[in-house]
Structure formats: C-alpha cells, structure tokens
Amino acid sequence: MSSVVHLANNYIYIASFTLFLIGFSILLLNSNLIKKIIGMNIMDTSVFLLFISQGYIKGRKAPILEGGGSVNPAEYVNPVPSALILTGIVVAVSVTAFLLALTVKLYNLYGTVDMDEIIEIRRSVDGNS
C-alpha cells in the first residue's frame, strides 16, 4: 500500500523517467535517422520536464513581475530551473538542427535515411573499393 502512495505523490518522476526511457530506446535502437532525432527530442523534453518540476512549489504564481512592484519572493515559484531550461532547449534545438543537416547530406550521398542500409552500402563500397 505504501508503495502506491509513494508512487502517487512522485508521479512527476515516473512520467519523466518513462518518457526518458522511451526517448532513449528510440534514439538507440531505431535505425531510421529521422526517428532517432524524434527520439532524442522526446528524451530531452522529458529531462526538461523533470528539471522544471523540481522548481515548482504548490500554490505559487509564475515568476513574472507585473508593473515592477515590490518583489516578494514567497509568492513566486523558483525561477532558476525554467531559466536553465531555456538554455537546455537552445542546446537541444542546435543538436537537432545539426543532426537534420547531416541527415540531408547523408540522403544526398547515400540516397537513404536508414542507418543500416547506409552501413551496408558503405561496407559493399569498401569491400570492393
């Protein structure tokens, strides 16, 4: 019984870990490059979800100042994780953009986006080259 209660109030951890594992396995096991990139994004979003959920305090507002009044930190949620995740998102976007650019180049060079086929072609080319 206590484990169910334990799971109940840690649902954030469960959600982010399952998402992480899904993304991890897609990125690792799938041979299609586009699917790999999608898997990578799922993995990154799950980590961002966990990171931001660490900063959430029940019953408080989002950390945006209206009209520059006096700032009482007690009313607001912890802003640090969301600021960090901005950088995290930028990093994830740039890695995705780089991977997409490489996929386009690979498609032009090999005519396919599937890593296994690419390895076959290269091995057959290397074999007789």
Partner 1 sequence: MIEDNDIILKQAARVLTPFILIYGIYITFHGHLTPGGGFSGGTVIASSLILNRISSGNHGSGPEIDRMMGIASIALVCYGLIKAMGTFFPDFTHRVLPRGIPGDLLSGGAILPLNIAVGFVVACVMYIFFCLIGEEA
Partner 2 sequence: METVRNFPVLIIYIFFIGSFIQPLVRNVRISLLLTVAISAVSSAASAAVVYYVRTNGDFLFDVAPWSAPWGIELSIGTLEAFVIAVICSVGTLISIYGIGMVEKEIPARNIKIYNALFLALLGSMTGIAATGDIFNMYVFIEITSITACGIISVKDDKKSIEATVKYLVYSSLASGCILLAIALLYGITGNLNIRYIHHHLTEVMYLYPRNVLLASCLIIVGFGLKAAMFPLHFWLPDAHSSAPTTSSAVLSALVLKAYSVGLIKILTGVFGIVVMSLLPLKTILMYLGSGAVLIGSLLAMTQSRIKRMLAYSSVVQMGYIFLALSLFNRTGFTGALFQILNHALTKTLLFLSAGNIKYYTGKESIEQLKGIGYRMPVTMAVFSVGALSMVGLPMTSGFNSKWYIGYGAIEAGKIGVLIVIVISSLLNAAYYLPVVVSAFFRRPSPGDEIQQPVNLPWFTSVPMIVMAVLIIVLGLYPDPVINFISGAAKIF
- Point out which residues bind partner 1 (CB under 8 A): 64-65, 67-68, 90, 97, 101, 104, 108
Partner from partner 1, partner 2, none binding residue 60, C-beta < 5-8 Å depending on class: none
**Residue 21 or 86 having the CB closest to partner 1:** 86
In this structure, what token pair is assigned to residue 71?
Answer: 């700032």
Using CA atoms, how far apart are residues 96 and 93, in angstroms rounded to an integer? 5
**Residue 24 or 76 having the CB closest to partner 1:** 76
SS (H, E, C) the chain: CHHHHHHHHCHHHHHHHHHHHHHHHHHHHCCEHHHHHHHHHHHHHHHHHHHHHHHCCCCCECCCCCCCCCCCHHHECCCHHHHHHHHHHHHHHHHHHHHHHHHHHHHHHHCCCEHHHHHHHHHHHHHHC
Partner from partner 1, partner 2, none binding residue 19, C-beta < 5-8 Å depending on class: none
The residues of the shown chain that bind partner 2, judged by CB under 8 A, are 20, 23-24, 27-28, 33, 36, 40, 43-44, 47, 50-51, 54, 80-81, 84, 87-88, 91, 94-95, 98-99, 102-103, 105-106, 109-110, 115, 118-119, 122, 125
**From the CB of 63, what's the least distance to partner 2, in Å?**
14
**From the CB of 20, what's the least distance to partner 1, in Å?**
25
